[in-house]
Amino acid sequence: MESQNKVSNSFDGTTGTDSKQVVGMPRTLSNCDLILRVVALLLTVTSAIVLGVDKQTKIVPIQIVPTLPAVNVAAQAKWHYLSAFVYSMVANIIASSYAAISTLMVLGSRNGKARLGLAQIIAVLDILMVGILFSANGAALAIGLMGYNGNSHVRWNKVCNVFDKFCDQAAVSIVLSLLASLAFTALILLTLLTFHKRFAR
Amino acid sequence: MESQNKVSNSFDGTTGTDSKQVVGMPRTLSNCDLILRVVALLLTVTSAIVLGVDKQTKIVPIQIVPTLPAVNVAAQAKWHYLSAFVYSMVANIIASSYAAISTLMVLGSRNGKARLGLAQIIAVLDILMVGILFSANGAALAIGLMGYNGNSHVRWNKVCNVFDKFCDQAAVSIVLSLLASLAFTALILLTLLTFHKRFAR
């Protein structure tokens, strides 16, 4: 029991704290949490917008009959032509919606009750967002790189030499989404750090 | 102070626990943690092996000159021809190595000291594994689906109608890797649950 009391007494060094403060985050970490959520919101929204407006039309010469000269055809590249980009868009919309809702929830619960239950739900959903965003980024990056380099083994030609603007804009969207997934990762680390800080005292 | 004491007194209901037990996991959750690490290890190792031995040779008719009949050529599909599969392989090797090391660390620290510092490092690395594995799965899945379906917009033909065995084996590897990433996600949830259980009492 002695060691228990030792831990118990050093459980929270701040004076005048109530039970809500004990189960919640210290003010500094709580502010970091809020900032990270807003950053994640901005990054996912911007990533979705950059990808959503991404399209490019190019005049491409196509050889229909080998003996006749090539015919110029207007070819268009749109984000929803590739399922990996569709997944990236859906993932960013889900993540931005969640970032907005969780920001409001964290703000609203700052002086409210039932912080532990809320913290549990938010922590689980943060992890879910990391999984969704990282898999979406991996998918979009794999297809993006294939577009830039192509692959001779499967005879998939690169398309970014033609649709350069489209590829660059998709790359920007992927980088923004990648930063957002790192922000959500930092949020989980922050939650773990909060609990560890409590125990370490 | 009253509420602090309330939390402090109800901090750990078990009798005869020492300070190491207080900062560590309860026995049941600790066993779950260990089982999940072994499961993650088996899944990542199997996924890497299934992908590593994945190759298929097929005789494909290729038209070299339009006026002459097609020439039969032996075409080979190997996992390292596609960078997404290489990334998946590297991710699974890293994750399996980490799963093995962390299993030993958790086993070794069960009756040892400095559990909090170790728990911090392991929790951070668990999150890192989730990020690496989910992005690798997303990448491999995007390329795999492209192989199954192709895409008429970018003129990438499907290849899984020819290399059926290769694609099926890659799909098995991706599913195993996906299950491993879920095991690592469960490990983070378990860490959070451990801390939440402590606070909720």
Which tops the pLDDT comparison, A117 or B157? B157
Q: How far is B93 from chain A (nearest CA, A)?
A: 17
Taking only the tens place, the pLDDT of each residue in A74-99 is 888 899 999 999 999 999 999 999 99
Q: Which of A11-25, A61-75, B7-21 has the highest mean predicted lDDT (pLDDT)?
A: A61-75
Q: Do strands B55-62 and B71-78 pair parallel, antiparallel, or not at all (unpaired)?
A: antiparallel
Q: Which of B13-17, B33-37, B120-124 has the lowest mean pLDDT?
A: B13-17
Which residue blocks in chain A are alpha helix, DSSP H?
A: 2-9, 19-23, 27-52, 83-108, 115-149, 164-200
**Does some domain include residue B37?**
yes
**Does some domain include residue A103?**
yes
Q: How far is B107 from chain A (nearest CA, A)?
A: 21
Angle at B162 between CA B73 and CA A156, to 5 degrees: 85
**Max CA-CA distance within chain A?**
93
Which of helix, strand or coil describes residue B114?
coil
Q: Which of A184-193, B24-33, B175-184 has the highest mean predicted lDDT (pLDDT)?
A: B175-184
| Contact yes or no for B134/A135 (Cβ under 8 A) | yes
Domain that holds residue B69: 25-200
Q: Count residue pairs from A and B with Cβ separation < 8 A.
A: 167
What pLDDT does B200 receive? 62
- Cα separation, B154 vs A149, whole angstroms: 13
In chain A, the number of structural domains is 1
What pLDDT does B163 receive? 92
Residues near A29 by Cβ (< 8 Å), separated by ≥ 6?
A190, A193, A194, A197
Cα B21 to Cα A87, B122, B130, B167: the distances in Å are 44, 17, 27, 48
**Does some domain include residue B110?**
yes
**Does some domain include residue B5?**
no
Q: Using CA of residue A118, residue A28, residue A40, residue A160, what is the dihedral sign?
A: negative
Tokens for B151? 């895409």
pLDDT tier, B85 (very low <50, low <70, confident <90, very high otherwise): very high
**Does some domain include residue B66?**
yes
What distance, in Å, lies between the first and last C-alpha atoms of chain A?
A: 18
Nearest to B199 among A23, A131, A136 (CB): A23
Which tops the pLDDT comparison, B64 or B95? B95
Q: Please report where in the chains the tokens 């969640």 appear, as a residue.
A: A98
**Does some domain include residue B152?**
yes
Q: Do B195 and A200 touch (CB under 8 A)?
A: no
pLDDT tier, B115 (very low <50, low <70, confident <90, very high otherwise): low
Q: Give chain A positions within 8 Å (CB) of B81.
A: 151, 153-154
Which residues 21-80 of chain B have a CB within 8 Å of chain A? 22-23, 66, 77
Percentage of the residues of chain A whose pLDDT score is greater than 70: 82
The closest alpha carbon to A4, from B115, B201, B12, B7, belongs to B12
Kindly tell me if the per-residue pLDDT of A25 is higher than 80. Answer: no
Which tops the pLDDT comparison, B67 or B184? B184
Q: How far is A57 from chain B (nearest CA, A)?
A: 12
Strand partners, A55: A78
**Does some domain include residue A16?**
no
Q: Which of A15-24, A188-197, B46-55, B85-94 has the lowest mean pLDDT?
A: A15-24
What pLDDT does A36 receive? 95
Mean pLDDT of B63-77: 82
**Does some domain include residue A17?**
no
CB atoms within 10 A of CB B15: 7
Q: Can you say whether residue B71 is alpha, beta or left, with left for phi > 0 and alpha for psi between -120 and 50 degrees?
A: beta
Q: How far is A75 from chain B (nearest CA, A)?
A: 9
Q: Do B200 and A116 touch (CB under 8 A)?
A: yes
Taking only the tens place, the pLDDT of each residue in B168-195 is 999 999 999 999 999 999 999 998 888 7
